[in-house]
Each structure stands twice: as C-alpha cells, then as structure tokens.
Structure 1
Amino acid sequence: MTAVYSVDVRIEAPVRDTEVTDRVRDAVEALFTNAEFVSEPGKLVAEAHTLDDFSDKLHEQEILDTARREFANGATDDGFSFALKKQAAFQGVINFAVGEPDELGDIEVAVTVRSPTVEEYIDHLAPPTEDGTPVDPDRR
C-alpha cells in the first residue's frame, strides 16, 4: 500500500536591496520546483504541498544522513523546519545552513505534516541509510 502524504511547506527567502527578486525566485525554484510564489516586502514567500523533487535532490547529492539530522534538529510534534544556503541554491545545490546566516540571508523552510507522522514523512524524504545506501524499511 502506498502512503498518502499531506504536508504544507512554507518557504521564505529574504531579498536584499542588492539582489534581484527574480534571481532569488530562481534559486528557490531550483530546489522547490512546484512552489507557488508571492512577494512580500523584503522577502519572497512560496508554498508547496510536496517535497518529492527536493527528496530526489537529496538522493542525487547523497546527503540523506545530513538531511535526516537537520530535519530531526528542527522537528516538533507538527512538523519540522530547516534552513538552506541561498548561494548554493542559485546553483541548484542543497546546502543546509548551520550557525550564523549568510550575508544574503538563508532560505527558511517550515514543513507542517498532517499525515502521516512527522517521523514517517522524514523517512519518506530522507530514508535511513546503511553505509550511505537507503535501507528498505521492509528489511528491518
């Protein structure tokens, strides 16, 4: 049986005076291909209802363990949040932001999970690995 995922994703990226809004939009869109955008003063805001393309990038970049750690660090009962480096996003690369935000600011992502559980959704996005290879949950 295939699980049905119900999530709301809010993505916020600051737009500094020295930046072009369309370039920031391109950076966000490079990582969140199905996001719908609205502009707010000083920032770009986007919403999505799936992170499947983002998950594909995590697999391609082979950073599942890093992603799981960042998702767990930002987990709550209702979802999880994480930050990404805007400069890397311009190149279509996922790079989690830790520590102080960059001069241009970080892309902030908040995920609200309605179904299934937060832990199950994190497992869907970035499955546990063994020696860097995703582990089939049915083999556990």
Structure 2
Amino acid sequence: MSEVYSVDVEITAPVYDTEVTDRVADAITNVFPNADVEQRPGELHAEAHDLEHFSELLHRREILDTARGVFFDNLQGDRFSFTLKKQAAFEGVVTFSVGEPDELGEIHVSVRVQEPDVESFIDHIAPPTRDGRPVDPEGST
C-alpha cells in the first residue's frame, strides 16, 4: 500500500564571502535533488515537497536511528527540523550537525507535514529499526 504524503520542506543555507554560491547550491541539491533553490542576500533558500532521496541517503549510511532521534528531538506540532553539515552535503552525504555550529556552515531544514501526520512521515523516511534493519519492510528503500 502506498501512502500519499503532503509535505513542505524549507531549506536555508548561509553563503559566506569565502564561498562559491553554486557550490552551496550543489550541497543542497545533492541531498535534496528536487529542491527549487533561489539566491537571497547572504543565503540560499530552497523549497521541496518530498524527502525520498534524503531517505535513501539515510538508509545507505545506516543512520536511521540517529535520524529518528534528531527528528523527534526537534518535533513541534506538525513540524520537525534538523541541521546538516554543508561540506558533507556537498559530497552527497548526510551528516547531522549537533552541538557547536560547523565552521564551514550548515544547512537548516524545516519540514511541515500536512498529510497524513508528522510521526507517520518520520516512520516513512526513517523507519524504526531492529538490529539495524528497518522493522517494516515497506519502510525500506
């Protein structure tokens, strides 16, 4: 059974004077390939409506439990947010930024889930695991 998800993903990343704007845009689109990126003063802003590729990256790196922890720690109502290391994202790798801000900058992501609900969507992109494997086989990609 295939669920229909309705989500709005807002992505922002500062562009420092020492950075090439296109490389920052690549960092965003390497992780969120369907994002529409636009330049704003001092930052890039992007919007997307799915996290399928992002979910695949989480599965590949086998960091579903880490992702779930970050998502649920930053859950507020119908939204959750997280921060990624910009340099890792440029390489197409998901690395969550926790603690001190990364010196090379971060990508800030806010996800608002309209359908079905935020917990179900988190289960879809980062399913619960047992012994490192997704519990629900339909949740694996």
For residues 78-122 of structure 1, what are the alpha-carbon distances to aligned partners after superposition, in whole Å with 9 as ceiling and x for unaligned? Answer: 110000001111111100000111123210000000011110000
Residues 14, 104 of structure 1: 8 Å contact kept: no
What is the letter of the counterpart of residue 64 of structure 2?
A: L
Number of the residue aligned with 2:71: 71
- Structure 1: state its 5+ residue gaps: none
For residues 29-74 of structure 1, what are the alpha-carbon distances to aligned partners after superposition, in whole Å with 9 as ceiling and x for unaligned? Answer: 1100100011100000100000011001100111100000000011
Percent of residue pairs identical: 62
User: Secondary structure of the residue that 1:71 maps to in structure 2?
Assistant: helix
With normalisation by structure 2, the TM-score equals 0.94
User: Secondary structure of the residue that 1:4 maps to in structure 2?
Assistant: coil
User: Secondary structure of the residue that 2:76 maps to in structure 1?
Assistant: coil
Number of the residue aligned with 1:39: 39
**Aligned equivalents of 1:92 and 1:53: distance in 2?**
10
**Aligned equivalents of 1:136 and 1:109: distance in 2?**
26
**Superposition RMSD in Å:** 1.2
Counting only pairs closer than 5 Å after superposition, residues 4-15 of structure 1 correspond to structure 2 as 4-15=4-15
Count of matched residue positions in the alignment of Structure 1 and Structure 2: 138
User: Secondary structure of the residue that 1:3 maps to in structure 2?
Assistant: coil
- Structure 2: state its 5+ residue gaps: none
